[in-house]
Amino acid sequence: MTNRSTLLVGSMPFENEEQCMRRALEMLGPQLFSLPDGEIGEKSAQFPEGNRIAWVMSAIEVLTADRDSWKVVRESVRGRDGMPIDYDHLPQLKPKRSTSELPQHVRLGYDRFFERSYPLFKQLRREYEQPHLKFQLGIPTGLAMGFAFASKLDWLRYTSAFNTVLAREVNQALAQAGDDLIVQLELPPEVYAAYLLPKPLHRLALRSVLDLVGKITPGAQIGLHLCLGDLRNEAVVHPKTLDKLVAFSNRLVAAWPATHRLVYVHYPFAEGAVPPRLEADYYRPLRDIRLPTGTRFVAGFVHEGLSLDDNKRVLSAIEQARGQTVDLAASCGLGRRTPAQAEQVLD
């Protein structure tokens, strides 16, 4: 398995961003084509493990703290790490500003995350002699911000406004890093829509992604993380088949703008703590995936709940279905694992 490239989706459960990147480089260096910073963030009494450890929750915390722009309809129910205990206990917010006003008053902080970690990344890249490695910045789409909206109508109405904010922050990072940066779009709500909503509503999920991409600087390198949700290592989507995910990604790829390079598409096969299935038939729909020439297919199956032989068995089923060698990843970020479990996956 070591001759294939490897993708780290984002979060890692180590002490800080430097330790996350060092551990990844020590264990996987030559296999990586890009490197995230591990998404730890600032530690405090409220967030003892860091305020970035749970994906979009760091951005939702920014909104919750801004009482000039948001009314808190319901407070979050939090665990010991400061994060919501599950998706049903996120804060519920009501906007005080219009969709046109919102981008002027909201800063989610992804540009700041980049500014803090990119210089350290370049230093470590030199130290570990990986000159071709690129920095990887993961962001949600505007649709993900709606997880915290009290109104589903507001959820849809404000998606494009949040995409404007996200693109502005990404473009600031791109202005500094250019081709040295891969922007990873993380799509749990879009995958949720693909599986659980009627087909006529799938266009809403496609629109969210394409609207964001259209606001990002042309020429940007972008990866797609098709995510099943992983808050506290529990998936929000439980696919019985892969057909709907394949259909969704094919529609997205068919509409992809030529102005932006699609570097990879990452498919998840584990459901949080639940390992990938072993039955080869489950993976057969992967033969129908259509990707642009040069776009990597990254198989997110590596899981500490499977033996090495079973991981190899899943890889064989995926590659038989695809008819090609694939790149490797876990199903999602490793931040919800213990350090020992994360090292087992990295190994």
Report whether 62 contacts 107 (CB < 8 A).
yes
Q: Give the span between the Cα atoms of 315 and 119, in whole angstroms.
A: 35
The structure's pTM equals: 0.95
Give mean pLDDT, residues 109-117: 97
pLDDT of residue 287: 98
129: left (phi over 0), alpha (psi -120 to 50) or beta: left
| Bridge partners of residue 314, in order along the sequence | none
Give mean pLDDT, residues 273-280: 94
Backbone angles phi, psi at 183, to 5 degrees: -95, 120
Is 301 contained in some domain?
Answer: yes
pLDDT of residue 262: 99
Tokens of 69: 């722009």
Q: Give the span between the Cα atoms of 130 and 126, in whole angstroms.
A: 7
pLDDT digits (tens, 9 = 90+) for 284-305: 999 999 999 999 999 999 999 9
**β-strand pairing of 181-186 with 34-35:** unpaired
- Per mean pLDDT, which range of 1-10, 100-109, 266-275, 282-291 is the poorest? 1-10
Is 83 contained in some domain?
Answer: no
Is 69 contained in some domain?
Answer: no
Q: What is the CATH number of the domain that holds 149?
A: 3.20.20.210
Report whether 13 contacts 340 (CB < 8 A).
no
- Per mean pLDDT, which range of 52-61, 104-113, 245-254, 276-285 is the poorest? 52-61
pLDDT of residue 219: 98
39: left (phi over 0), alpha (psi -120 to 50) or beta: left
Is 176 contained in some domain?
Answer: yes
pLDDT digits (tens, 9 = 90+) for 80-97: 998 988 888 899 999 999
Is 100 contained in some domain?
Answer: no
CB atoms < 10 A from the CB of 342, how many? 26
pLDDT digits (tens, 9 = 90+) for 226-245: 998 877 777 788 889 999 99
pLDDT of residue 2: 47
Q: Give the span between the Cα atoms of 142 and 56, in whole angstroms.
A: 10
Confidence bin at 204 (pLDDT 50/70/90): confident
Q: Which domain holds residue 246?
A: 17-46+109-346
- Per mean pLDDT, which range of 20-24, 128-132, 191-195 is the poorest? 191-195
pLDDT at 1 over 60: no
Residue type, 254: A
Is 341 contained in some domain?
Answer: yes
pLDDT of residue 238: 86
Residue type, 67: R
pLDDT at 99 over 80: yes
Q: Give the span between the Cα atoms of 241 and 190, in whole angstroms.
A: 17
Is 67 contained in some domain?
Answer: no
Total domains in the fold of the chain: 1
Is 66 contained in some domain?
Answer: no
The percent of residues above 70 in pLDDT, for the chain, comes to 99
> Is residue 6 helix, strand or coil?
strand
Q: How high is the mean pLDDT of the chain? A: 94
Please report where in the chains the tokens 């259909």 appear, as a residue. 247
